[in-house]
């Protein structure tokens, strides 16, 4: 727990971020981040596609503080969607609303999302809104519901550590939702603190969404949950077309291959870009063993 809190603290620490950024590749970030440019990301996606894996790319960047940055970020998402279409890779887009100006001006953020979704629609593609910390939850869900009135190629993620996960999910019946345990540090007022409670709620919300007939993207590296989901789907006659598994790039690659070979859709979340710091620190917080990435990076030439 101390390690988790430590890395979550670092993930938001601007001073350390500035210092650490130039150490990125040395810290081992390279093994979990697919390069800095759209081109590099597309190359990684192509390689993953060749292994039978589908992908979602995320241009790393969080907490935009002005209009120009938010618009620039939206333009980058649009260029990424265009590149996916041009290269013909099997991949959709994940993004964060704070990147698009959620904290600056909600109307601006909505306009940015509209442009991105129009581009995705033109290319027949889908956009996933990552879920950020609790302070952004209501605004994210409100915007999603608004966007869903016009677009059906957009979904978000629901975090099982939140007490309200089940209620939020039921209101999203019929929407393609990524189901996750949750990556941020949240207070006991809003979130389960014990792993066993989070795991229990996680499997419960997966069942809810599947039994609702909705499409579920089950994003976890937890093989026990994955096995439970496979068994549950079989027992309840839920087709493999109604769900997919998702894992992060660079994590449990062997398991990713196995799942794909069994005929399940397996999507890899491929982050890229220069702003890797917050993402990398959250991964270290989740699993102290991931620190080996960092140590290996530091020791290698």
CB closer to ligand FDA out of 243 and 269: 269
Is 159 marked within a binding site?
yes
Minimum CB–partner distance for residue 292 and ligand FDA (Å): 10
Q: Shortest distance, CB of residue 224 to ligand FDA, whole angstroms?
A: 7
Give the nearest distance from C-beta 283 to ligand FDA in angstroms.
8
Dihedral angle at the C-alpha atoms of 100, 103, 108, 111, nearest 10 degrees? 50
Q: Consult the annotation and say whether 96 binds a ligand.
A: yes
Which residue, 80 or 159, is less far from ligand FDA as judged by CB?
159
Choice between 151 and 202, CB closer to ligand FDA: 202
52 is in an annotated binding site: no
Alpha carbons 246 and 265: distance in angstroms, whole number: 8
Q: Which residues bind ligand FDA (CB under 6 A)?
A: 130-131, 157, 159, 180-184, 219-222, 246-248, 251-252, 269, 286-287
For 162-198, b/e burial (b = at least 16 CB within 10 A) is beebeebbeebeebbbbbbbbbbbbeeeebbeeeeeb
267 is catalytic: no
Contact 219, 181 (CB under 8 A): no
66 versus 217: smaller Cβ distance to ligand FDA: 217
Structure-block tokens of residue 215: 């499409």
164 is in an annotated binding site: no
Q: Least CB distance from residue 248 to ligand FDA, whole Å?
A: 5
**Distances from the Cα of 237 to the Cα of 202, 231, 266, angstroms:** 20, 10, 19
Identify whether 39 is a catalytic site residue: no
Region class of 75: left (phi > 0), else alpha (psi between -120 and 50), else beta: alpha
What minimum distance in Å lies between the beta carbon of 271 and ligand FDA? 10
Q: Which is nearer to ligand FDA, 221 or 265 (CB)?
A: 221
Paired tokens of 192: 């389960």
Asked if 84 and 122 count as a contact pair (C-beta separation under 8 A), the reply is no
**Is 182 known as a binding-site position?**
yes
Q: Is 101 helix (H, G, I), strand (E, B) or coil?
A: coil
Q: Is 283 annotated as a binding-site member?
A: yes
Q: Which of 110, 128, 178, 267 is catalytic?
A: 178
Axis-axis angle for helices 195-211, 223-235 (nearest 10): 30
Q: Which of 58, 128, 130, 267 is catalytic?
A: 130
Q: Which residues contact 88 (CB under 8 A, 6 or more apart)?
A: none
State the binding site for substrate. Answer: 96, 282-283
State the binding site. Answer: 96, 131, 159, 181-183, 220-221, 282-283
State the binding site for FAD. Answer: 131, 159, 181-183, 220-221
Residues with active-site annotation: 130, 178
């Amino acid at each position: 727990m101390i390690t988790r809190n430590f890395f979550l603290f670092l993930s938001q620490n601007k001073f350390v971020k500035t210092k650490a950024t130039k150490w990125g590749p040395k810290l081992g970030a390279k093994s979990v981040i697919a390069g800095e440019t759209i081109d590099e990301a597309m190359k990684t996606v192509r390689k993953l596609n060749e292994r039978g894996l589908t992908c979602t790319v995320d241009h790393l960047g969080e907490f935009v503080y002005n209009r120009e940055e938010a618009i620039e970020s939206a333009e980058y998402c649009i260029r990424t969607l265009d590149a996916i279409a041009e290269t013909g890779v099997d991949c959709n887009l994940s993004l964060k609303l704070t990147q698009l100006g959620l904290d600056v001006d909600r109307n601006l953020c909505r306009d940015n999302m509209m442009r991105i979704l129009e581009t995705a629609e033109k290319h027949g593609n889908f956009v996933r809104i990552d879920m950020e910390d609790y302070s952004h939850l209501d605004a994210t869900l409100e915007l999603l519901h608004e966007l869903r009135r016009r677009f059906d190629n957009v979904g978000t993620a629901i975090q099982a550590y939140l007490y309200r996960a089940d209620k939020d999910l039921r209101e999203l019946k019929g929407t393609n939702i990524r189901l996750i345990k949750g990556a941020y540090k949240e207070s006991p007022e809003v979130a389960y603190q014990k792993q066993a409670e989070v795991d229990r709620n996680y499997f419960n919300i997966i069942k809810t969404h599947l039994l609702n007939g909705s499409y579920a993207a089950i994003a976890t590296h937890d093989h026990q949950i994955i096995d439970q989901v496979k068994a549950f789907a079989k027992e309840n006659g839920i087709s493999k077309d109604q769900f997919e598994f998702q894992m992060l790039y660079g994590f449990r690659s062997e398991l990713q291959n196995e799942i794909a070979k069994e005929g399940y859709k397996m999507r890899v979340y491929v982050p890229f870009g220069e702003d890797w710091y917050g993402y990398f620190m959250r991964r270290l917080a989740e699993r102290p063993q991931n620190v080996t990435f960092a140590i290996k990076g530091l020791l290698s030439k």
